[in-house]
Chains A and B, each alone.
Chain A
């Protein structure tokens, strides 16, 4: 597994974005624009908005722009639905040269009319793409007129690709959600003793696992953002009395806003790994301050931990001493993964994110061992260099990182849209260990 001389040795401008724990005291730089001319693994504003909103199952997700943006995001989210499946279709205004010159507003209005006629949906999200931002279509006006025409909600999502990075897209999506969940003037929603679960997109059914835990504890989930959510459930979001936030990168802004507007407090939780799952459940129970909930929570944690303990131990014995590299989208996942790997005896030797925030990188730096490389917005050459240098056996990443790891003879786990098993909660911890094991210990590596 010797690396070929990598073509991309670290360029000077990138050096502030890379730190080795214990060696450099200076804080890592992050949340900056990518350098032009790099093979960035990052995506755009539209991508961020789309991944957050796409799981809303009964909405018409209409992409206003040339065909590509709609084609590339057609049903790639991996979020499951318990009822509607309209969100798995691809709708585009397919802007042509003529529209670019004369404006796309009319075509957009026609597209909305035609779609609403076909599909009895109460909600349309209209995503703006790069070109719409440049030709100056008035999305607000077109959406407002269409909403009045059809008596439904037509919400523009301001997600022109160039106005920032993926994080700006999360924010655009949250703004769209805030418009949706705003109760009609003068009609405040009565508060219930339920919670909203923010930042879980129900990949492989993960929301359902967590909902079941909470139900057993005696905590009702009002709505999850946005996994398996729909028009009706999102409309009632403001009646919750607590917001728990998992994927903080995408949902932090929404949680803050909901606190400000509807007085709903929020807390960060994570259901990845045994340690974080137990701690999070306890934290939620404590927030309710109800003895019955707390005792049921302890029962659940004890039972579920006992149920998976042997399996985890077995995997741990098999994998102890292996080294992992992590390159994922946001900071929350990276943090949880460090702990989760520790549970199965694996050390993290390299860790990075596309859009992690400063405080998340601080937490990461606290958690990892000395010598671990931490990097923001890495490119493939950097990933290769540090994974090889640090002797990683396994990479956790998304679509674009998979073949890179494989080419290096390295095992790989998809912790993104392409995951096939739920990785949340107690059962997810076992699935995770099982997936790590099945790739690390596959006989195929013997042939390289």
Chain B
């Protein structure tokens, strides 16, 4: 059942089978939801908006609000300008957000709508804002879209207004769950650092039950804060693919120096994040964080024999799986296949790092493995069919491979459509690493228990 993937590997050039990515606009929509009182707007056919809301709703299990330009045949012939202008008028009249974040689609990009001049000539109520990002679906992936919208926030909103930079740091968390954003903020707070996080979907897509529906939940980065990001003395971009472009834009526009770090998953990447904050603010790492780290390492030592030498396949979004790959090599595991659907970007460009990063992590760990950008799950499945693994880690779509090959499966990344709670809890930071350890060991040991013969079935493991 559901094992339609042949073992024999042949050269392919006609597109994707079982993609490990989706398109830019959904990433832009997710980023825009990380601004407080913001209405994301999809400039294209209404299907795009509907699909993105549906997909995000399934992952977050929370309402996802966004409007659409509802293109018709006329719009695609004469341009979508009238639709966008009407939309801007209607969005503020009906839904009254503080800010509207417009992203494009493959359709509006191809017909060539000039969004900045359309925005300029639109009637925008006083005190309200409209920002935009170009997010053609035929370039990059949902991660690129997230990056572009985050960069758009800087381009439109951030300003350097003080002569001396403030003692505060911008943190761009990347395309991670609200639970991760909370954890990253918690760590920054514990470090005593004043920070601005944007986008920030915590409190938006993990909002509590109150018996009320709020179109704009309490969370999200405040517009004033994003504006003030231009006055910070440092920007930390967590993840090259989702965050670096916005940080570079801040550097260009507001002369805020930036550092690009890994998404803080695992001991090493979390250490780097905290050490960077320590250096920037000349603060000591607080005892609580040292304790968390010590606990994490203690668990790793206690259980290392469960992990050692296990072959693992990892797929998903580049920033997350780069850090994840580093983490699992630290456990003695062998990440033999690491694949993302997101393309590597232009050769030599800032995003042309995925395969290199992974290979360097594998080299340092002495692991022979394959790294692939622009891959699909068909390819990953073929690799696994030819040389099996002990564990698969990735988003929900991995379940087909896990079932066909009967391998334990840990769900991480986006989207997760068949399990819940993961958006509330972190995989970042030391606490997040503990959670990952629990998930990995449960998956591996549940399998050992399931497969053990009676005489090998053990109480203590």
Interface on A for B, CB 8 Å cutoff?
Answer: 1-4, 6-9, 11, 33-47, 65-74, 85-86, 88-97, 99-100, 107-115, 117-119, 129-131, 133-135, 161-165, 380-381, 384, 399-400, 402-404, 406-409, 447-448
Contacts and interface: CB of A to CB of B under 8 A. Distances in A.
B110 A131 contact: yes
Contact of A400 (B15, B21, B22, B54): B54
Given A39-B65, A42-B46, A407-B213, A163 B138 contact: no
Nearest to B106: A131
B31 to A, nearest CB: 16
Contact of A43 (B50, B84, B95): B50
Interface in B80-101: 83-84, 86-91, 93-97
A66 B55 CA distance: 17
Interface of B: 1-2, 4, 6, 10, 12-19, 21-23, 25-26, 41, 44-55, 57-58, 61-73, 75-76, 83-84, 86-91, 93-97, 105-107, 110-111, 136-139, 141, 209-216, 341, 397, 400
A11 to B, nearest CB: 5
A86 B2 CA distance: 8
B72 A33 contact: yes
Given A72-B55, A135-B110, A36 B22 contact: no
B4 A40 contact: no
Given A37-B69, A42-B46, A380 B63 contact: yes
Contact of B76 (A3, A74, A129, A134): A134
B107 A162 contact: yes
B13 A11 contact: no
A37 B67 CA distance: 5
Contact of A107 (B15, B90, B210): B15
Contact of B46 (A34, A89, A109): A34
Nearest to A108: B14
B47 A47 contact: yes
Contacts of B88: 37
A3 B210 CA distance: 10
5 contacts: A91-B17, A94-B19, A130-B71, A163-B72, A407-B62
Contact of A162 (B23, B25, B73, B91): B73
B4 A407 contact: no
Given A99-B138, A109-B14, A406-B209, 14 more contacts: A4-B212, A37-B88, A43-B51, A44-B47, A47-B51, A69-B51, A70-B19, A96-B138, A130-B105, A134-B76, A134-B107, A164-B72, A384-B213, A399-B58
Given A9-B94, A131-B107, A74 B50 contact: no
A40 B216 CA distance: 17
A37 B91 contact: yes
A391 to B, nearest CB: 14
Contacts of A384: 213
A130 B48 CA distance: 10
Contact of B50 (A41, A66, A131): A41
Nearest 4 CB-CB pairs, A to B? Answer: A44-B47, A68-B23, A111-B14, A37-B90
B107 A130 contact: yes
Contacts of A380: 63, 65, 213, 215
Contacts of A67: 16, 19, 21-23, 137, 141, 341
B87 A7 contact: no
Contacts of A164: 72-73
A107 B105 CA distance: 21
A42 B45 CA distance: 10
Contacts of A33: 70, 72
A38 B66 CA distance: 8
A10 to B, nearest CB: 8
B17 A4 contact: no
Contacts of A113: 14
Contacts of B61: 402-403
Contacts of A35: 70, 86, 90
